[in-house]
A = this chain, B = another copy of it.
Amino acid sequence: MTDLLTRKLENFAPLSGEDRRFLAELARPSRLVRARTDLIREGDRPNDVRLVLEGFACRYKILPAGKRHIMAYLVPGDLCDLHVFILKKMDHSIGTLSACRVVDIPRNRILEMLERPAIAQALWWSALVDEATLREWLVNIGRRPAERRVGHLLCELLMRLQTVGLVNGTSYELPITQSDVAETMGLTLVHVNRVLQRLRARNLITLGSRQLVINDVAALKAFSEFDPNYLHLDENAKTLERC
């Protein structure tokens, strides 16, 4: 439960004991945020970086017609806005989906982090994986039919939550609403509902009361054309290169 960030970053770069200690201390003053609350809004200039410890948050934009589109999920261990040091204004908002525990990490803390080579490299890795994920989502939404699209999302979350130890066998907590899924996939909530029923009917998943069970992981992955290489999880660099 503790040290999710460490756990996640270690997936990529080997960290020293001191690195680990440093990261563990980051999570010190955390706060609770209720569901459906904005952490930062489009147009704001961010002052610090947020780290999610518990719960699901998301990046989103609101369209002129008032509809929300979700562009990324932030799950425990995820860090937002390393951008802080470069871009002046947020071009999108970040809000919680479920109740969350978050930490606000001030700028100078981040600068200290970036001075530790292993952490810095792992942080860039994480930023690049976020970008790769965006590309995969683009393909997912652009090209796959609704059923595969939703299946793909469930597979991705399985992998991501696994890296922070939030998966029990083949099951994880999914504290979001069907309407959230709809706003993520560019679908209607009505259609998401039917799609989930069809995934259940195919005996691929069991979903109820915020708990997802993937009945047959290999089958769901195959069905959803899920190829995890975009998550770059197998690149546990033993070499420390320059950042």
Contacts and interface: CB of A to CB of B under 8 A. Distances in A.
Contacts of A111: 242
Interface string A115-127: 0000001001100
Contacts of A230: 91-92
A139 B61 contact: yes
B185 A83 contact: no
Interface residues of A, number: 45
Given A141-B141, A141-B142, A86 B134 contact: no
Interface centre among A91, A229, A235 (most CB of B within 10 A): A91
Interface stretch (A17-25, A27-35, A63-71, A189-197): A63-71
Nearest to A126: B86
B64 A225 contact: yes
B143 A71 contact: no
A122 to B, nearest CB: 9
Interface in A206-225: 225
Contacts of A73: none
Contacts of A92: 132, 135, 230
A175 interface: no
A88 B143 CA distance: 27
Given A85-B241, A135-B71, A235-B87, A186 B125 contact: no
Given A64-B225, A111-B242, A131-B134, A88 B235 contact: yes
18 contacts: A59-B135, A63-B144, A64-B225, A69-B138, A69-B142, A71-B138, A83-B128, A85-B241, A86-B121, A87-B125, A87-B132, A89-B235, A91-B132, A91-B135, A91-B232, A134-B134, A138-B141, A141-B141
